Structure 1
């Protein structure tokens, strides 16, 4: 389960970075903001998983 969540976090971060880059290239502020939000969501998920790992070991 933890591996699945970690990979999901990485995927959200990568997807967010890509969306932000496309938004900047096109000049679409909304897409840029959505990309940043997806990155933040991935960062939060990753931090949660790291916290779980700290208590497991």
Structure 2
């Protein structure tokens, strides 16, 4: 195995590791955004309910 082949193999391995790491980070960011969206929707629903209660009490 020559130095060039070894370098090519290690750089390929590094690329694979980087892709896997990037994918995990993307999944974590996506999950965080989804959780935030869910919380935002719950918050909006609660405000709607509060407004509805406020209107019916008048």
**TM-score normalised by the chain length of structure 2:** 0.51
Q: Report matched runs for 1:26-37 at 5 Å.
A: 27=26, 28-37=29-38
User: In the comparison of the two structures, how many residue pairs are matched?
Assistant: 32
Query: 1:50 aligns to what?
Result: 51
Pick 1 or 2: higher relative contact order, CA cutoff 8 A, min separation 6.
1
Give CA-to-partner distance per residue, 1:1-38, whole Å, 9 cap, x none. xxxxxxxxxxxxxxxxxxxxxxxxx7410000000000
CA RMSD in angstroms, aligned pairs only: 1.4
Query: How far, CA to CA, are the matches of 1:56 and 1:48 in structure 2?
Result: 12
Runs of 4+ in 1 over 6 A off after TM superposition: none
**Deviation, structure 1 residue 56:** 0.7
Q: Which has the larger radius of gyration?
A: 2
**TM-score normalised by the chain length of structure 1:** 0.52
